[in-house]
Amino acid sequence: MAKIFSIASGKGGVGKSTISCHLAKSMAGHGEKTIIIETDCGLRGLDIILNTDQIVYDIGDFISGNCELVDAIQPVEDFDHLHFLPASTNFKQNLSHNDLFKICESLGDVYDNIIFDLPSGYAMTAKTKDISDIFLIVVTPDPVCIRNASMFVDFLRNDCKISAQMRLIVNKMTSNALKKGFVENMDYIIDQTGLQLLGIIPYCESIMLSNFLGKHLKKRTLTHKIFDAIHDRLIGKNTKILI
């Protein structure tokens, strides 16, 4: 049965789609059959990051009965084990909990990993609450985002009653943020949320350019190793957090 990951955040633009893409590539690179499901209807973007621009059908077509699920699933160049289910371009397409559940039921026996790339905020996150095995909460090092994440996790736990595991990923880390009180803020969020830190990803040109050009991260670079280390920690290895 597939393990289901939801990549979530309270605030937008923190890097959920970027992390979905590179984590999925790391999983696929380890031979694990992986699919990313993009759920941000009306705001499709992963096709650019994954360089899969020949999309005919998407998740909305499947939900509306215009195609079979398999017709909407896209291959990803250079990765035999990686697939992508693109979001609808229609803002009015509303994915229900039932839609997501049915998709996971169909794909659960085919894949090792299913990754939901969620839009920011509570609405879609709540819809995956009893489908996901683990939530990866993404945060950037600025204090507003950190406070937002703390409130977001509180809401997921206490109002949505999410009981699945949650882990924290810090993205867009800079050396200045490290110097200027980030570590104290980090202690605060870990204390407040009780979330275990899974990884820290630097703010860097290689990730920006890889998204921009739809290219893979180069093997043996620090960023590539960071995503592999996140993968390893997710499968229970005691790998150090790289930075």
Binding of ligand ATP by 119 (CB under 6 A): yes
CA distance 201 to 128: 25
Cα distance between residue 179 and residue 97, in whole Å? 42
Contact between 82 and ligand ATP per CB under 6 A: no
- In degrees, rounded to 5, the angle at the alpha carbon of residue 77 between the alpha carbons of residues 134 and 108 is 35
Alpha-carbon torsion 25, 36, 167, 150, what sign? positive
Q: State the binding partner of 172 from Mg ion, ligand ATP, none, CB within 5 to 8 A by kind.
A: ligand ATP
d(CA 115, CA 126): 15
> Distance between CA atoms of 207 and 17, rounded to whole angstroms?
12
Residues 164-183 that bind Mg ion (CB under 5 A): none
Count of residues of this chain found to bind Mg ion when the rule CB under 5 A is applied: 2
Least Å distance between CB 13 and ligand ATP?
4
Using rule CB under 6 A, residue 224 touches ligand ATP: no
CB 114 within 8 A of CB 1: no
Identify residues 109-138 at the interface with Mg ion (CB under 5 A): none
User: Using CB atoms within 10 A of its CB, is residue 103 exposed (0-12), middle (13-18) or buried (19+)?
Assistant: buried
Q: Candidates 29-37, 55-63, 146-154, 207-215: pick the segment binding ligand ATP (CB under 6 A).
A: 207-215
**What, of ligand ATP, Mg ion, none, does residue 13 touch, CB below 5 to 8 Å by kind?**
ligand ATP
Half-sphere exposure of 74 (CA within 13 A, CB side): 23
Identify residue 107 by its one-letter amino acid code. Answer: L
39 lies in the site for ligand ATP, by CB under 6 A:
no
Of the candidate residues 62, 211, 217, 224, the single one contacting ligand ATP (CB under 6 A): 211
Give the nearer residue to Mg ion in terms of CB position, either 172 or 186: 172
Residues 16-35 that bind Mg ion (CB under 5 A): 16-17
- The residues of the shown chain that bind ligand ATP, judged by CB under 6 A, are 9, 12-18, 40, 45, 119-120, 171-172, 201, 203-204, 207-208, 211
